[in-house]
Structure 1
Amino acid sequence: MTRHDAAVVHGEAIPKARVDALLRAVPPRDRETRPESLARAERQRRRWATQVVVTDELARRACADRGLKPPSEVSPALALSVAGTDVADLGSIVATALAHSPAARTLLAELEREQPVPEEAAREYYTRNRDRFLTPDALRRGVEPFHGAADTDFVPYERARAGIVRDLRRAAGRRAFFDWLDQARVGVQYAPGHEHPGDPSHPDHEHRH
């Protein structure tokens, strides 16, 4: 690893220039004014950006291994459009990586496609979450879904099934993506100042993803 590298992924160096490009595109979230706080925030931002770039690199390799061909150009600017709900659901590293990296999006889509959704799982979800399937009329009337509601107050399972399967497959695909990323990051080497933001081996670590 040279002084120009941010990390080494399975023997291949990741240049700091890729991290710098992402940092230029994404403004700081924290508006610190004290010099020591600003310096700490910038260190964490660089570590965070390194994780996004490493995720992109790992996803490119995973796509190549699977014979998938994502678009070749990443877009640092797309990281600006990450929805707050995605950050809450996925963490900022993964949410930004998915916005930034066509390879990560392609891999996630493939992992979602691979997830089986048994019929019994879809039916169980429908039964356990009856409040989500009230008809518009039942909602207007203030029907209590778990006490005294009639069958006609609910969207029939046959009509709800496709959406349930889609949502369950999406959730399973996200879990598979996190599992893949945890395994893929094993063995990645980081240059000083580019470690994971939550790495306890450096003194100002934090676990905000």
Structure 2
Amino acid sequence: MTDPAAVVQGNPIPKERVEAFLRNVPTAPPRGAGLYQYAAPPRGATSPHPAAPAKQPAEAHHSASKSRAERQRRRWATQVVVADELARRACADRNLPPPPEVSPTHLLTIAESDVADLGSIVAAALAHSPAARTLLAALEAQQTVPEEAVRDYYDRNRDRFLTPAALRRGIDPFARPAPTDFVPYDQAREGIARELQRAAGRRAFFAWFDRARADVEYAAGHEHPGDPGHPDHEHRH
């Protein structure tokens, strides 16, 4: 193989794999998805007339911005494809059940809440890659949440545990509410522990991804979008 998009643990990732992923990414992703959306084309850009007037300064600026957005979008896509490849290898190393192949026609959808919580690269990797989801589930299952951490979360976030009746009455959880205005700890404990375990699993996934991609080599035009080594860089995840 010649001229790969990236090299992962000595194995080339073909550029076509990145292009195939991009073909299944909507051109208008959720807000904040970090896909470096194109601006709307200038009015008349789809005109059938063969002769086009010389570019005005505003049009030239738009064209340059669009080209930059396209380059950044490709870099972003490379990160997602690399994450999938690294996750496949991690699943194999951990003897996890082989994840299914990614469907070549799977249209990527990303929840805006996941983008806000995870950053667009990790959110897209988890939406795109069964291997990434398998690895995340395994890492989450390994996390142990101490009882004192659960209790501390309950004590520090009392506003989250008002009863429905207290919420209807508009009770201020910080202004000497009655103990009966809160869901008892024993009832809230399981949900808190599950939420903290999920958060710990995500942190473990972030740490794994940062370590795993440290030695990845990227071709020109496929670097991380925030890599200061290229002129388009911006630190968006």
Alignment of 1:116-127 (within 5 A): 116-127=144-155
- Report if aligned partners of 2:163, 2:181 keep a CA contact under 8 Å in 1: yes
Given candidates 167, 174, 178, the residue that maps to 2:202 is 174
Match of 2:5 in 1: 6
Match of 1:198 in 2: 226
Unaligned runs of 5+ in 2: 29-36, 42-61
Give 1:53 deviation, angstroms: 0.2
Distance 2:38 2:225 in 1: 18
Give 1:81 deviation, angstroms: 1.8
Q: Give TM-score scaled by structure 2 length.
A: 0.84
1:82 aligns with 2:110: yes
1:15 aligns with 2:22: no
Distance 1:70 1:130, change over 3 A: farther
Give 1:144 deviation, angstroms: 1.0
Distance 1:125 1:76, change over 3 A: farther
Given candidates 85, 98, 107, the residue that maps to 2:135 is 107
Match of 2:80 in 1: 52
Instruction: State, as a whole percentage, how many aligned pairs show the same letter.
Output: 71
Deviations 1:8-28 (A, max 9, x none): 000011111110111101133
Give 1:135 deviation, angstroms: 0.4
Unaligned runs of 5+ in 1: none
- Report if aligned partners of 1:70, 1:102 keep a CA contact under 8 Å in 2: no
Alignment of 1:32-71 (within 5 A): 32=39, 33=41, 34-71=62-99
Match of 1:31 in 2: 38
The answer to which of 181-190 and 19-28 deviates more is: 19-28
Which residue identity lines up with residue 199 of structure 2 in the other structure? Answer: A
Give 1:183 deviation, angstroms: 0.4
Total equivalences in the alignment: 208
1:98 aligns with 2:105: no
Match of 1:165 in 2: 193
Give 1:69 deviation, angstroms: 1.6
Q: Secondary structure at the match of 2:227?
A: coil
Distance 1:74 1:173, change over 3 A: same
Deviations 1:146-196 (A, max 9, x none): 212111111111110110001000111111110000000111001111000
Structure with the higher fraction of residues in helix conformation: 1
Which residue identity lines up with residue 84 of structure 1 in the other structure? Answer: E
Match of 2:57 in 1: none
Q: Give TM-score scaled by structure 1 length.
A: 0.95
Larger CA Rg, structure 1 vs 2: 2
Distance 1:44 1:77 in 2: 23
Give 1:71 deviation, angstroms: 2.5
Q: Secondary structure at the match of 1:71?
A: coil
Distance 1:128 1:168 in 2: 14
- Report if aligned partners of 1:76, 1:100 keep a CA contact under 8 Å in 2: no
Distance 1:75 1:144 in 2: 50
